[in-house]
Structure 1
């Protein structure tokens, strides 16, 4: 499972360009900080109050004052800025975030997102996701393609929505899918899977790009 999550995080990190200001959500998205390509400067935002998020802290080198939105010990880059929550969400709501990277419980083919609650079960709550998916210019979902074999990418979400039509891109261990007005377009497919495999693991029809590429591990 660790290798699968690493694959997803590495691929997501390739989505950014030099100068981007990007928010990373909790869970798998936090791993993206470890794989920002060399040669570009991306400033990572953590909704709990700082920009300049670095890699996860190594064991024994943790600073108890530097944690990400998920409460994990992280590092900070030289250009770090610390601020209060109102400033943090002012950056989000003001449209200054180029992209937000979030996990998901379900995503619909039209870009609807459900990532905050399963009715009847105890969960942490919505957090800043509602603001992030509407304030960021682009919403990227990173997640494992299925949950114990059950579809997570669906024709229509069955769980309460975080927001409607907010997802732009989905990255899983199986491939990369763009949300379009025609439906979900697979632009990259990992070599471990066939078109039939990814379609079987998806709860809505997929469109395969005419320029379909191989999703690389590195």
Structure 2
């Protein structure tokens, strides 16, 4: 069975290094907070001014003043801190965020990211996505493999407005885990298949991917 949204988030949590500072985008990325193991000692950062963010609160723990960048109520772990958004973005732009886990509408094989606007649709703005995509040391995109019309989101070239170019390192969908060719001089290298979700065949993943998939992985 392909992974569900929660399992995609759990798989992304396994990629977070020990003692790292990690920013979670809106959508599926917010679920990652619920799958971080205590021994990972990950410090979750939110661009609205939080470091040390914990998982979503239980009903009795809800505090309307403690929210993430997506305006969802969250918790703060012991030792966590709050600060203004100017300092928060200075952390991002200064390269102090180790990993950004972001949602995506499209990811190209070379690591380009489109995650903020569909032409003709009303949007609130790009928020901190550009800063995170270019400022974080590693970017993981978590998304469904296809859109609601069945079109692949893993493409050779993005057709939607870009958030940033050559920024995505790793892509995790319900079908598996793939690396982009961001670090390669060959733009035509395609996606490298790292891992298949349980019960998903390589042929199934290739059929769902508009961009080239250049190597195989075990299921």
In the alignment, is residue 77 of structure 1 matched against residue 77 of structure 2?
yes
Match of 2:198 in 1: 191
Match of 1:50 in 2: 50
Q: Deviations over 1:169-201 (max 9, x none)?
A: 000110000112322101100122111100111
- Correspondences of 1:10-159 after superposition (within 5 Å): 10-148=10-148, 149-159=150-160
Q: Is this contact kept in 2: 1:22–1:42, CA < 8 A? A: yes
Give the structure-2-normalised TM-score.
0.93
In the alignment, is residue 4 of structure 1 matched against residue 11 of structure 2?
no
Give me the whole-angstrom Cα distance separating, in 2, the residues matched to 1:107 and 1:82. 32
Give me the whole-angstrom Cα distance separating, in 1, the residues matched to 2:63 and 2:39. 27
Give the structure-1-normalised TM-score.
0.93
Give me the whole-angstrom Cα distance separating, in 1, the residues matched to 2:34 and 2:218. 24
Match of 2:210 in 1: 203
Q: Is this contact kept in 1: 2:23–2:99, CA < 8 A? A: yes
Give me the whole-angstrom Cα distance separating, in 1, the residues matched to 2:139 and 2:110. 13
Q: Is this contact kept in 2: 1:108–1:154, CA < 8 A? A: yes
Match of 1:164 in 2: 165
Secondary structure in 1 matching 2:180: strand
Aligned-residue Cα RMSD (Å) equals 1.2
Q: Is this contact kept in 2: 1:116–1:124, CA < 8 A? A: no
- Once superposed, which parts of structure 1, at least 4 consecutive aligned residues long, lie more than 4 Å away? none
Q: Is this contact kept in 1: 2:141–2:170, CA < 8 A? A: yes
The structure with the largest strand share of the pair is: 1
Give me the whole-angstrom Cα distance separating, in 2, the residues matched to 1:94 and 1:146. 34
- Give the number of aligned pairs: 210
Between stretches 131-140 and 177-186, larger displacement belongs to 177-186
How far did residue 213 of structure 1 move? 4.0
Q: Unaligned regions of 5+ residues in structure 1, if any?
A: none
Secondary structure in 1 matching 2:194: strand
How far did residue 44 of structure 1 move? 0.3
How far did residue 60 of structure 1 move? 3.9
Q: Is this contact kept in 2: 1:106–1:153, CA < 8 A? A: yes
